Amino acid sequence: METYANALLYAIPFFIVLLIIEILYGHFVKNQHHKLLDTVSSISSGLTNIVKDSLGLGLILVSYPFLLENLAITEIEATWLVWLVAFLAIDFAGYWNHRLSHHINIFWNQHVIHHSSEEFNLACALRQSISNLLGYFPLFLFPAAFLGVPAEVIAIIAPVHLFAQFWYHTQHIGKMGWLEYIIVTPSQHRVHHAINPEYIDKNLGQILCVWDRWFGTFQEELEQVPPQYGVLKPAHTWNPILINFQHLWRLSVDAWRTRSIKDKFRIWFMPTGWRPSDVSEKYPTEVIKDVYGFKRYQTSASIYLKGYAIFQMVFTLALILFMFYNYTEIGFSGLLLCGAYIFLGIFGYTSLMDRQNFAFYIEFFRGIAGIALIWVTNDWFGINSIWESGSLVITVYFGLSILGGFYFTFVERAGIEQQIAL
């Protein structure tokens, strides 16, 4: 996990630079595909994911080293061939894991966050899951284990393979000629994120598009069918933590409500979107039918709230980078506590973006708890050894979070509601 955290210290700035370039390019060519609150929500989702993954939270069902030890019948000796086989095995496994996530109810929950943005841009690539708490991906790597690909090679290729899926989440790059027959391109991935009937569950490849072409899930982007983005059951929130568990909550409620004992069990493993007939009839849910005419999610946000959301997001990123930089010194229990503060912060300020009344109470509790921790330990997870005034700055930050939560929940919102009433 420490190796992954160190890799993120370099990867995060790279992603941010590309994201800024896309936003500036969209601005100058007057073809902007970013909406501020949506982009903040997307980046915040990415922050929750990297914290969760860097802490190794979750249960590994079967590890790759275990498969390697029990399945390997040979060992590839040529160095270049090892890396090639490892890459192909991970990409092949990624295709089938992705396909499973799109077609089975329970597995869709861990992937829905990635599709939840109603925009398509580099920021939405950062919408990654925190609900994938059961690690079963190594099961798809049995061909690599069978051929004896070393675990160290898989450990290096896997994050590189993940990071390489970032660039094609953009609308500013058109079709790419002969490359369209080999790799996943922005055009192909626009199709994948679209909710048009022609495009649903297509283009599931991650780096190579050959799997889609071989297994019948390829769809070209059609000029007469402009992609529309989001999910057919809209999230209606900027809060990435809520989005991560919305589908799981809906499944749980439906399983509870149905009178059929059989349906209480099979709902989890039925095709994505399936609901028991007695529940769907009595409790209909909102599903987008007109993909060109549905109302996209938005909340009232003054320029001050937008600025405050950016401030919270940037400060949260700074806290995460410090956590990664000081990973070993903080220790596992300290990392869990630090991660809890970060999660609570993201939950708080994205709830403010949703204009939720409870957002203030989240911010108040987090602020008081943070100030109390600094007062008791006279530090913030060792920051004073790096920056003498570090814990003081973070104390001020928690104070501002309490004041900001109060202002945007009760003062500014009351003014907006009064204007609407008039």
SS3 of 192-243: HHECCCCCCCCCCCCCECHHHHHHCCCCCCCCCCCCCECCCCCCCCCCHHHH
Candidates 128, 90, 123; CA nearest to 112 is: 128
- What mean pLDDT is predicted for residues 182-192? 98
- What mean pLDDT is predicted for residues 259-264? 96
What is the rounded distance in angstroms from the CA atom of residue 202 to the CA atom of residue 338?
39
Does the pLDDT of residue 237 top 80, yes or no?
Answer: yes
Candidates 288, 286, 287, 283; CA nearest to 253 is: 283
The larger pLDDT score, comparing residue 72 to residue 130, is at 130
The pLDDT assigned to 414 comes to: 63
Does the pLDDT of residue 420 top 50, yes or no?
Answer: no
Say if residues 110 and 129 touch (Cβ distance below 8 Å): yes
Does the pLDDT of residue 6 top 70, yes or no?
Answer: no
- What mean pLDDT is predicted for residues 129-139? 89
Does the pLDDT of residue 268 top 60, yes or no?
Answer: yes
Cα angle at 394 between 389 and 398, to 5 degrees? 150
The pLDDT assigned to 12 comes to: 83
Say if residues 126 and 167 touch (Cβ distance below 8 Å): no
Count H helices, E strands: the chain?
19, 2
The larger pLDDT score, comparing residue 60 to residue 258, is at 258
- What mean pLDDT is predicted for residues 131-155? 89
The pLDDT assigned to 161 comes to: 94
Long-range contacts of 171-179 (CB under 8 A, 24+ apart): 171/31, 171/33, 171/120, 171/121, 172/22, 172/25, 172/26, 172/29, 172/31, 172/33, 175/221
Does the pLDDT of residue 369 top 80, yes or no?
Answer: yes
The pLDDT assigned to 415 comes to: 60
The mean of the pLDDT values for the chain is: 93
The larger pLDDT score, comparing residue 123 to residue 68, is at 123
pTM: 0.94
126 — pLDDT class (breaks 50, 70, 90): very high
The pLDDT assigned to 233 comes to: 96
Size of the chain, expressed as the number of residues it contains: 422
